[in-house]
Structure 1
């Protein structure tokens, strides 16, 4: 008889692990609290505009390709990928010399810009990116696909030596300072840490591998939007027999003799299973779905943890096109360090925030009515802030004022025909996110080396997948997490990626 698996939550990690287990012969059911699957990678339509709600960057194409190959699938059969050029546009506030620059993820195209930012930097940037590429490959081969705490060979000198080569005890800020002088160039190299929800002054230098991902691989976009990834995973799951139950919040993980045996839904229905995997927010899983005696990571753990920022998001439908914007656009605040201090050390709405604007209609005009654009505007804000309606209204106006100045669009608000805002409380409501964090645990040194394990130490047959566990945050990383939990269940101890199922 097939072993029954229940997966709580249908984010990328949940869908990824479901497909691997279904293909391997397990009887898998995915239970989702919301009315549609996808978790943070969700979508909605309004007044002719289509908006991806969460992730918008398609990075690490090698990881996506590997995952689909693992299932015996060709990614091109599911996704129509476009390599963006430029990869993104950067707006430097109050910079009269170079207020707007384009990054192409093609070093030969980008070198003239880097030389303007820091004359004579060419040999350094070549060496830096070559080393970042080597470290990325090393991280993949030695650490990313390894279940921590699973194999004694993690303590072998060869593995320890490779770990030291990744500069884990140096911060990204100090590491970049040892290579480059230009503040603008360092900001371009540091911005990728936003994907990890981290402060460069507290993020291990090993994450310089993000620059290899950016500059050596490029930035892609799946036509139709990021939700096409969710749809692809849904198709593969359906092909292998995965069942989906939506609009079904879980209220409890059922335990008998210290073993997970099922889940209880909010409507009091009980679903039984041999294995439970939670892709829900790990804080919620541990502190709300388990009794205290079964919690590996109780409330005191989370009170000491460092969270990635929350976000203020605006989904905007415009009545025209904005040529000044590329597909991805980053506005860097002038006082970079103060911005991070306000996000992590003295939590408050940033005075001079950095923000991000995605204009998917640059690449995919079918996402809005003809002759118009839709925008996804994201401003990182601290998690856990208690904001009044007046606070939110005032900050919305602040961001609009910055956009009008930075983009030289004095009538920007007149172009808006549709608007929806999304704040910390929405992350709490929709995803049970701890303190409304948009991403989860930040990638500090401690939370990189000692990230929560992907299984319960106190409940047998209870596993975890997604951004809350190893290896961390991001869509491709969550697919690696799916492979890791599959290995854990199957008792596969190889540190290398699997070749095929």
Structure 2
């Protein structure tokens, strides 16, 4: 839906420019098109998908980043907004044999199977008495998850009235405990065995943080993997990106790759900005904006620069890049100096490996942990206040390995295995890139570590295809602030309404989507951020997901 101003004197179709063709940018473009905008997505790289892109070489096909399909309800809800479903768009298979495997120190590997009963049985087998404690923990995690979806994720926080919600007021003591306590503390009080603690707190890394600094509220992540279960889209996560492209094109979105946005164009305005929908809704906070977005300045593959007009601009690019590079100093909601107090989260060195022969020692998802992983987190985040920080070659020795060829034969040639290895490293603006000795040295060390810890002593010798990426590549390809891999860390000060706003405070008609804004990191959050842009445009300050379309008849017809 578009505003009265945008329908304007000529009754023309209003235009929207979306900066960035990652998952958030594509998802936002689809929803904008369905609201009546003529939408163009501007992507500087040669292909869309962003961090969820695909790498092909030597007969292998790697997902370049996201590899866990969690929060299936968020994916399903997004598809249903568009009148379709995950079942129609993707070939999803459950991973439960196991959901994932954990190697911790010198212990035997632990196979984690989803489902409360199976998980409780596993925990009890490792630590007598843990059965009941896990069931209680998962029950609390499920309730926290429900509350987060209903009140904190699908909202713009554009009015302080959200804090007066009766359900939130009733739960203030509980919410205070969840927000002020840490994930590590909440788990350590219940479980003694370090393996169980690691299983329940490692999701902090997927939130770009460390367990001791992640609010206990994010224990809800255990609901997503242990209760909801882990899925995988056959063909890889590239098929998810393909579905977004298909839906965008069907909606009339124009996708322009190889064209970089150099700046966001504005025109002066002294009108008070109101977060209002096209029917004149006045929901939202009123404040003075010194400018209004009028389009974007782009540079095409031919090197020529030009201005492209738009009534609305949505930046799904890195927020730091948007604020400090695409806007002039006087129009930045958050000046450069304030970023010094922000936590960029983790950086990553990634390895994409093609391996000769089978690797049954590795599950589809395998977590290789140090017995004591506190030194691993210090290698990423430093020792604390006053620390000079970790060095250029620092890295975690607790790593994640994905072997999609365990489930999907299409990702590797016959007789070979596909491995994706994620190695947490410090986020830093001078981070090394693929081919840099420090990146390749880290990958060499971790390949050796995986081989030793999982019983594959000849792993390095069997690699027939190898490709890498470092923090510098994230900085170059995605304009990632300090080369971070996932987005801002989910600390207390960077969660919920404290994370920021999905609308510029100084430029009317400029909105934000993606992992560096609210609600946060991960593919489901990117989809939710797209929906929140539409809620902001409509002046919809209500919490909770937007109403879905009924897909029953369409599914039956198919």
State whether structure 2 residue 553 is matched by structure 1 residue 497: no
Which contiguous aligned blocks of 4+ residues in structure 1 show a shift greater than 6 angstroms? none
Contact 2:95 2:229 in 1 (8 A): yes
Aligned to 1:260: 293
State whether structure 2 residue 298 is matched by structure 1 residue 287: no
State the Cα distance separating 1:116 from its structure 2 match: 2.8
Do the aligned partners of residues 247 and 387 (structure 1) sit closer, same or farther apart at CA in structure 2, a change above 3 Å counting?
A: closer
Aligned to 2:413: 369
- Normalised to the residue count of structure 1, the TM-score between the two structures is 0.96
Deviations 1:423-447 (A, max 9, x none): 0111011100111100121000011
Hey, what's the Cα distance between the residues in 1 that align with 2:157 and 2:258? Answer: 34
Question: In the TM superposition, what are the counterparts of 1:431-470 in structure 2 within 5 Å?
Answer: 431-449=478-496, 450-470=498-518
What is the SS of the residue equivalent to 1:263?
Answer: strand
Deviations 1:211-250 (A, max 9, x none): 1111110010001001111111111111110110000011
Aligned to 1:355: 399
Question: In the TM superposition, what are the counterparts of 1:225-304 in structure 2 within 5 Å?
Answer: 225-257=236-268, 258-266=291-299, 267-304=304-341
Q: RMSD of the alignment, in Å?
A: 1.5
Contact 2:119 2:226 in 1 (8 A): no
Of the structure 1 ranges 211-220 and 146-155, higher mean CA displacement relative to structure 2 is found in 146-155
Of the structure 1 ranges 124-133 and 114-123, higher mean CA displacement relative to structure 2 is found in 114-123
Contact 2:513 2:526 in 1 (8 A): yes
Long gaps (5+) in structure 2: 1-11, 269-290, 383-388, 550-558
State the Cα distance separating 1:350 from its structure 2 match: 4.5
Aligned to 2:555: none
Contact 2:432 2:470 in 1 (8 A): no
Hey, what's the Cα distance between the residues in 2 that align with 1:319 and 1:183? Answer: 34
State the Cα distance separating 1:149 from its structure 2 match: 2.9
Aligned to 1:426: 473
Contact 1:312 1:378 in 2 (8 A): yes
Long gaps (5+) in structure 1: none
Aligned to 1:146: 155
Hey, what's the Cα distance between the residues in 2 that align with 1:387 and 1:67? Answer: 36
Hey, what's the Cα distance between the residues in 2 that align with 1:448 and 1:73? Answer: 31
Aligned to 1:123: 132
State whether structure 2 residue 194 is matched by structure 1 residue 155: no
Do the aligned partners of residues 254 and 130 (structure 1) sit closer, same or farther apart at CA in structure 2, a change above 3 Å counting?
A: same
State whether structure 2 residue 208 is matched by structure 1 residue 175: no
What is the SS of the residue equivalent to 2:400?
Answer: strand
Hey, what's the Cα distance between the residues in 2 that align with 1:217 and 1:488? Answer: 30
Of the structure 1 ranges 117-126 and 472-481, higher mean CA displacement relative to structure 2 is found in 117-126
Deviations 1:343-399 (A, max 9, x none): 112324456610111011111011111111110011000111655933333322211
Of the structure 1 ranges 392-401 and 214-223, higher mean CA displacement relative to structure 2 is found in 392-401
- Normalised to the residue count of structure 2, the TM-score between the two structures is 0.87
Hey, what's the Cα distance between the residues in 1 that align with 2:431 and 2:62? Answer: 27
Aligned to 1:14: 25
Deviations 1:92-119 (A, max 9, x none): 1223xxx201111123223332123211
